Amino acid sequence: MTLKDKKILIIIGGGIAAYKTLDLIRLLKKNGAEIKTILTKSGKEFITSLSITTLTGTKTFESLFDKELEVEIDHIGLSRWADLIIVMPTTANFMSKLTNGNAEDLATTVILAADKDILLVPAMNVRMWLHKATQKNLEVLQDYGYLFVGPEKGEMACGEFGEGKMSSPRQIFVFLKNYFHKKNIVKDKNLSALVTTGPTREYLDPIRYISNESSGKQGYEIALALDKLGIKTTLIAGPSKFVVPKNIIVKKITSADEMLSEVKKTLPVDLAVCAAAVADFKPIQKNKNKIKKDKFNFESINLIKNNDILEFISKNNKSRPRIVAGFSAETNDIIKNSIKKLKNKHCDFIFANDVSKKDIGFNSDFNKISVIDKTGKIKSIKKNKKSLIANIIAQILLDKLIDDRNFN
């Protein structure tokens, strides 16, 4: 795949690795991309605007105000023009500015005003990269949705060795090819997904019900992540309090039966993620009025099993999604029980999580996941914010979907 007609805005930061930007510009231009550049004040210490302009054939922007034209540079227009914005090299200082939302110059105002993905390419001393402040900034920026390439391990300009070396122009170029390839597939094939989330409630009477501690946050974050990838997403949500973007179709339900009904209406889709904590049982009969204590038989509540929604989707030969993934909320023997569920439900992925701990899982902003595929391969995702875990899950599912469909 070429990058023909792709519009890329490159912000050149301060650092000895800034010279590598010229090689990337050559690669991108050779493959048909349109390039515009912003040279930061610190970047000017390492590379000249003349070199950049010679390669791009366009003006290199340097500040918010053009003294020659006596006008303010249109930072909004620059961000809207681009299909993607790259910051290279991304220094520790620049990461700190982005974390705090600074808008002090042309580069930072363009980024803050951007409605496109932003790719950061870190380059700094190994100790600076591993510093707690930088790692905290990394987590925040990932949570904001910034993309990252690198850094790599290697020998640095300062003579030290370790993680912090900027990725090569070729590595960045390969990332960009894959990035736009996925974007094109999602757009051209009009890919769609359904996500179930939240608990369900099975009412005994108008007041009392059977349910669980699920907040629905993980499924909500997965829906957001899939939507951000350009996948048309439907979120079927049990009782929860999240505000969902307008472009995500939301179907609110209460019971497992209602969720199954909405799932049937939503199929077929390319991808299904069952993140809902569906109640396993429901009362045989719901009382119309509140059951009085003196008339309630506490020793015996007649229950029946709810339909298994994940199993229904996965075994539905007529409208089975190409990729079906479910969650396995366990308190013990996490991996063993999750592998059993994967096989019994005939799904493609199971995301195993431990709900016995208070700091992850139900009613927490954090989670820790083991991704198990149908071949038995297990990938662990360390404890992190559910939004970051959702981004990882969304990428895994999209990559698998693209591989299985053999898109060119």
**Which stretches of 75-187 are assigned E, i.e. beta strand?**
84-90, 118-122, 147-148, 152-155, 161-165
DSSP letter for each residue of 165-214: EPPPHHHHHHHHHHHHHHHHHHHHHT-EEEEEESB--EESSSS-EE--S-
Q: Token pair of 143, please?
A: 């949570």
Q: Token pair of 65, please?
A: 């105000």
**Annotated catalytic residue within 133, 158, 207, 301:** 158
CB distance 237 to 258 below 8 Å: no
CB distance 198 to 238 below 8 Å: yes
Residue 119's alpha-carbon distances to 85, 142, 144, 172, 382, in angstroms, are 6, 11, 12, 10, 23
Distance CA 53, CA 32 (A): 17
Instruction: State how beta strands 323-330 and 60-61 pair.
Output: unpaired
Catalytic annotation on 347?
no
Distance CA 37, CA 82 (A): 11
Q: What's phi and psi for 271, nearest 5 deg? A: -145, 135
List the one residue out of 338, 347, 319, 321 whose CA is nearest residue 379.
338
Q: Left if phi > 0, otherwise alpha if psi is -120 to 50, otherwise beta: which for 276?
A: beta
In total, the chain counts a number of residues equal to 408
CB distance 211 to 200 below 8 Å: yes
Q: Would you give the end-to-end CA distance of the chain in angstroms?
A: 9
Residues carrying an active site annotation: 158
